[in-house]
Amino acid sequence: MTLYQPFLDHAISYMESRLDLMSYPIPEGFESKTATVGKGKNEATVVTTSYAFQTPKLRQIRAAHVQGGKALQVLNFVIFPQLNYDLPFFGADLVTLPGGHLIALDMQPLFRNDLAYQAKYTEPILPMFSGHQEHLSWGGDFPEEAQQFFSPAFLWTRPQETSVVETRVFAAFKDYLQAYLDFVEQAEPVRDSQGLQDIEAAQLRYLRYRAEKDPARGMFKRFYGEEWTEEYIHGFLFDLERKLSSVN
């Protein structure tokens, strides 16, 4: 069992228990991708597996699970709400590299500086955030231009010990997902055209940033080549622009 498999298993079974999960199409060739890296006794296999679902309120729920041995494990799990809900994004980037663990967990806001939005989607989870942050200290600098996409409840940490990932980080992951599905359950559709326009603009801003700055791009290119990587990023991981242009 690899490090993030229990996170993925929990997420899927918990979502199944609370949502009407339907499958979401994964483009051909992206469900699972394998590469052999390194030479001789350093040879290793890196497998990237993709998962995707949708519900009436959630446009795309998707996960990318990279498994390449003890020193290379990644679970990137993001939920993109439908464009007629003001829900934040659920964003989890759980990364283990030879240098250590890097954990980013948040409900990423559509409108970072809107106080009413913060009152609705950040304040209710601040006690939960503080409870976890006590055990998971701040992970230090991260790209300044990314700050606008994170909420004040951004859990960002670089645990030294794998056991901390298995216990504290796993507990935080479960709590954030539970709180997120509580928000989803309560969410009512937005109907006014200005509100809808603002949501679409905010989703596109977020999506373009993530597609353009994807910190995994270098890794994926090394394993699977440039063409596969760009198609994976724009055609699956961050696909909103493609989906919008195909219906309009």
Residue 120 one-letter amino acid: K
Single residue of 68, 81, 210, 229 touching ligand DBV by CB under 6 A: 210
Single residue of 7, 58, 83, 214 touching ligand DBV by CB under 6 A: 214
Helix ranges (H only) for the chain are 5-18, 115-121, 126-133, 162-164, 170-186, 193-213, 217-224, 226-232, 240-247
Block residue for tokens 């794998």: 162
183 is a site residue for ligand DBV (CB under 6 A): no
Single residue of 68, 91, 109, 159 touching ligand DBV by CB under 6 A: 91
∠61-64-67 over CA atoms, to 5°?
Answer: 150
Single residue of 3, 87, 216, 240 touching ligand DBV by CB under 6 A: 216
Query: What region does 215 belong to: left with phi over 0, alpha with psi -120 to 50, or beta?
Result: alpha
Residue number, 83 or 104, with CB nearest to ligand DBV? 104
How many Cα atoms occupy the beta-carbon half-sphere of 5 within 13 Å?
8
Q: Which of 21, 165, 4, 181 is nearest to 76 (CA)?
A: 4
Which range binds ligand DBV by CB under 6 A, 30-38, 120-128, 181-189, 212-220? 212-220
Site string for ligand DBV, 95-134 (x = CB under 6 A): x-x----x-x---x--------------------------
Minimum CB distance to ligand DBV, residue 17 (Å): 25
DSSP string covering 57-95, please?
A: SEEEEEEEEEE-STT-EEEEEEEEE-TT--PPEEEEEEE
Which range binds ligand DBV by CB under 6 A, 28-36, 49-57, 119-127, 209-217? 209-217
64 is a site residue for ligand DBV (CB under 6 A): yes
- Binding stretches for ligand DBV (CB under 6 A): 64, 74, 76, 91, 93, 95, 97, 102, 104, 108, 142-143, 146, 149, 210, 214-216, 219, 237
